[in-house]
Amino acid sequence: MAGLRIDPSDATPIWSQIEEGLRRLVASGALSPGAVVPSVRDLAKELRVNPATVVKAYQRLTDAGVLTVRRGDGTYVAEVPPAMSRTERARILREAASRYANLASTLGVAPEDAQEALRAAWRKGDKS
């Protein structure tokens, strides 16, 4: 599936990488409401991962209302993807910020420079 990349060597569990990746594709509109997502078998083969990990990711996304399963048909992006709760959004932002801050500090970058790099990336993201 275009835009979904996972790294089996990463410390983040594979099901979590798939879950986050699909959430991102839905949030960015790359996967539109009602779009079909690959079968567990196809996605597992494509990513070369254990199908059970894909099942777990799909299950969690279905429970969260991001995906819906049509019995005997397949799995689709929900017509009305749920708005993310405020606490959930805050949690994701906090985790990503912590990763970025760690990276910047590892590189020996001053906080002000790291913030400027973030602003620049933001402006670039707005244009594209």
Partner 1 sequence: MTEPIRIEGLTVRYGRSTACRDVSLRVALGSVYALLGRNGAGKSSLVRCLLGEQMPSAGRTLLFGDNAWTSRRAAMARIGVVPEEPDAPVGMTARELSDFCRRIYPRWDGAAVMARFQRFGVPPNSPFGRLSKGQKGEVMLALALGHAPEVLILDDPTLGLDVVARSALYDEIVGELADRGTTVFVTTHDLAGFEGIVTRVGILKEGKMILDEDMEALKARFRRIRYANHLTETRTAFGTELDAFHAVRVRVRGWGIEAIVANFDDATFESFRAIDGVDDASAEAMPLEEIFLALAGQEKGNGQ
List contacts with partner 1 (CB under 8 A): 6, 8-11, 13-14, 40-41, 44-45, 47-53, 106, 108
Q: How far is the CB of 50 from partner 1 (least distance, A)?
A: 5
- Cα dist from 32 to 59, 64, 75, 77, whole Å: 19, 17, 13, 7
67 forms beta bridges with 77
Nearer to partner 1, 43 or 81 (CB): 43
Tokens of residue 43, six digits: 């996605």
Nearer to partner 1, 31 or 54 (CB): 54
Nearer to partner 1, 48 or 86 (CB): 48
- Cα dist from 40 to 21, 69, 97, whole Å: 15, 12, 31
Q: How far is the CB of 40 from partner 1 (least distance, A)?
A: 6
